[in-house]
Structure formats: structure tokens, C-alpha cells
Amino acid sequence: MAQKIDAHHHFWKYTPEGYGWIVDRMSRLRHDFLPADLEKEIGSAGIDGVVTVQARQSLIETAWLLLLAEKSTFVRGVVGWAPIAEERFPADLEVLRENKKLKGLRHVIQDEPDESYMIRADFNRGIAALKNSGLAYDILIYEKHLSTATRFVDRHPNQIFVLDHMGKPRIREGILEPWRNNLSELARRENVYCKLSGLVTEADWKAGSGAELRAYVEIALAAFGPQRMMFGSDWPVCLLATTYADWFATVSQLISALSAAEKDQIFGGTAIEVYRLHN
């Protein structure tokens, strides 16, 4: 039986200082979310393993996530944070690579005031240092950054990239362009993969239906194909709009027309390949 993988979720011990991005309307998230909490959720959906993704830009958090992964039977890997744009990064990378649970890195590009951050020389120097590391790089951006992301990816044709949350299309507003064209252009780069995740919080949190997501998912599937897409819950952030089980059911319905092999790819095969979860 094919392994089911949740390729995108978070853990944290909540403090107001550490998680300032959790504003008042997100009060549901002002709690600790730890492996024991997630284990209950994934059991209901038949998920076999997960990839934990950073939520703070801190080497301390990355070390903590790796420690949680070492102690867990179901956390298969970690996408952590490191100071990619800093001169010290290659040295930090050497230390981080010693832990085989580290499968990738991510920087919160979407919150950078400089909209050209991805094409800065210092950041790209750091990304170039990932060559031969076996680590993927997760791209966290808003849809307005997609064209810049293509320019960024083109500088690193041998690096594996993963676009988080389908590039955050403007679902709440019902806007398809220029997201559709820019996503399709990025998808032409075969070293870029895409997470079917984070969509319910880009939509109306109270909508309670996957119908408004269908057009966006179909566009992403047409662009990347099932072979380069992977399921992610974005738990616990998804709890602002849905439950873990309901999101899994929504994705299952949205891809119901695909073959069994294509569904297996989205629900596990792609993540296992990209994040080297067999290692």
C-alpha cells in the first residue's frame, strides 16, 4: 500500500513575542501545537508520515524541530530555517546537514519588505551553496511574487524547489490572473514542485466548501501534473477555516477524477521523492 505523507505542517510552543504574525483574528492558533496533537489528527486521515516546516526564522527553532523529529515515529523530515543570505551560512549548513532528518530549508520571502529579495546577490549566493546538499528549498511567497520566483529559479537549474501553497492565489477575491499565467510559466521549470496546501486560508474562512478551490487546483494540476504536486495540511493554520480531516476529504474530492496512481503520487509519492523520505 502506498505511503500517505502530509508534506506541510507546523509545530510550535506559543508565545506572543515569538509568533507576532498570529494576530487577533487568528486567536485559534494561540496555543501550543505539538506532535501528540498532530498524531491524533493524522490517524483519522490515514496519514503515515509528515514533513514539519519552520514557522520562525530561527536556528534555535530548526534545532528544536529536528529534535522533535528524532523522537517521533511519524515525523519523517524537517524543512527548517537558516541564515541563507548571511556569510556564515555555509558553515551553518555543514552543521545542519549532519542531521539526516533535515530535508529542506525555507525563508519567509512573503514578509520581506524588499520584493526583489529572491534575486539579491547575497540570498542567491546562499542558495548556490545548497548545491550537492540534497536539500530542497521551499518557496513561500504571495502570488505577486511569482514572476520574480521564475527569475530566481532560473539562476539555479539544478536545485530542487517546492512552491508552498500553490503560490497563494487570491481565492477570496475570485481572481485567477495573473496567478494562472505566472504559475504556468514557473511550472515549465521541471525542478519546481508544488504543494496542494494552504488554500482554505486564502479563501473565505467561513465558506465551508471546496467548490471555490476547484478552478485553482485544476489549473495547478494542469501546470505541474500529479507527478510534481504533493498534499499538505498546513496544520494548525488550516484550523482557522477547516479541520484536518475535512481538508483531507476536500483534497480527496478535488482530485477524485485522477487515477489511483496519480492520487498516490499527490498523497505521498512526490513528497517521498522530493524530500528523500526513504533515507
> 31-61: per-residue pLDDT in tens?
999 999 999 999 989 999 999 999 999 999 9
Determine, yes or no, domain membership for 279.
Answer: no
Average pLDDT over residues 182-202: 97
Determine, yes or no, domain membership for 140.
Answer: yes
> Which CA distances in Å does 213 have to 54, 65, 241?
25, 31, 13
pTM value is: 0.97
Average pLDDT over residues 163-191: 97
For residue 187, the domain's CATH number is: 3.20.20.140
| Whether pLDDT at 76 is above 60 | yes
| Whether pLDDT at 210 is above 90 | no
Rounded to 10 deg, the angle between the 244-254 and 35-45 helix axes is 40
Rg (CA), the chain: 17
Determine, yes or no, domain membership for 141.
Answer: yes
Would you state the pLDDT for residue 1? 60
Angle at 172 between CA 115 and CA 183, to 5 degrees: 50
Query: Phi, psi (5° rounding) for residue 134?
Result: 80, 0
The percentage of residues in the chain with a pLDDT greater than 70, rounded to a whole number, is 98
- Residue 149 to residue 183: CA distance in whole angstroms: 10
- Total count of domains within the chain: 1
Determine, yes or no, domain membership for 178.
Answer: yes
The percentage of residues in the chain with a pLDDT greater than 90, rounded to a whole number, is 95
Would you state the pLDDT for residue 209? 62
Average pLDDT over residues 73-93: 97
Residues 6+ apart with CB under 8 A from 247: 200, 233, 238
| Average pLDDT taken over every residue of the chain | 96
Domain range for 168 is: 5-274
Tell me the per-residue pLDDT of 257-273, one tens digit each, with 9 for 90 and over.
Answer: 999 999 999 999 999 99
Determine, yes or no, domain membership for 33.
Answer: yes
Average pLDDT over residues 188-194: 98
Contact 50, 9 (CB under 8 A): yes
Would you state the pLDDT for residue 211? 83
| Whether pLDDT at 29 is above 70 | yes
